Structure 1
Amino acid sequence: MTLPQLGDEMTEALSGDPSTLPHPALARLIGPTRSRALAALRRPRSTTRLAASIGCSLAAASEHARVLRDSGLITTERHGKSVMHSITALGWNLLSRRTDVRSGSGDIVEPSQPPQR
């Protein structure tokens, strides 16, 4: 029995690389799968590639994208038969914020800026 090879998106999602994973507090706020979806959209992706990135069905990825879009965290543009999802400035801000837990102050560390398009 041979198993299908993981695509780059799924390998990235499962790598556990801290730079690609959302902050645990974000996962508690919007849910672990939706926070991974937002993190995956640091690079614009189609719904199909988003589903592969977060390891869910196409229907589930579409629903996660809808909720993120309705919340103003991503935008969606149709290109022919597919759609491309991109993170908004609000999404970048939410994804990038970190609490300074070392000092115990709870101060917010300013986010890094999203890449210029």
Structure 2
Amino acid sequence: MTQQTFIITGAFLGMLAIILGAFGAHALKKLLSVEQLKSFETGVKYQMYHAIVLLLLGFNYTFSTSTMYWCFTIGILLFSFSIYGLVISDAKGKKLKVLGPITPIGGLLFVIGWANIIINAL
């Protein structure tokens, strides 16, 4: 994993969080219930939080590990994107229930990534 990989991935996922947040707030607002919109926003928030973590790790590269990179990157994909899929499919009346068990796996990867930061700091 290179420093550039951390920074580019973090910046791309952060940019995508802004785009998806705007999409949710404007285009989906009329299609989603309040509860669905709140779930969508949760996915966006967690995506942004962890994109920022990737950037910070990239700018402090000597502290970073490839385990951190993969935990946060795959965590975003599994956690946030499964929420996006669940919400949009539910709004269309065809909820993709198969995505439900994927969300906590992404959350677990976030926890492992954070634990790696703690371990690396010790």
Q: Considering the TM-score relative to the shorter chain, is it more than 0.5?
A: no
Structure with the larger strand share: 1
TM-score normalised per structure 1: 0.30
Q: Which has the higher contact order (CA 8 A, sep 6+)?
A: 2
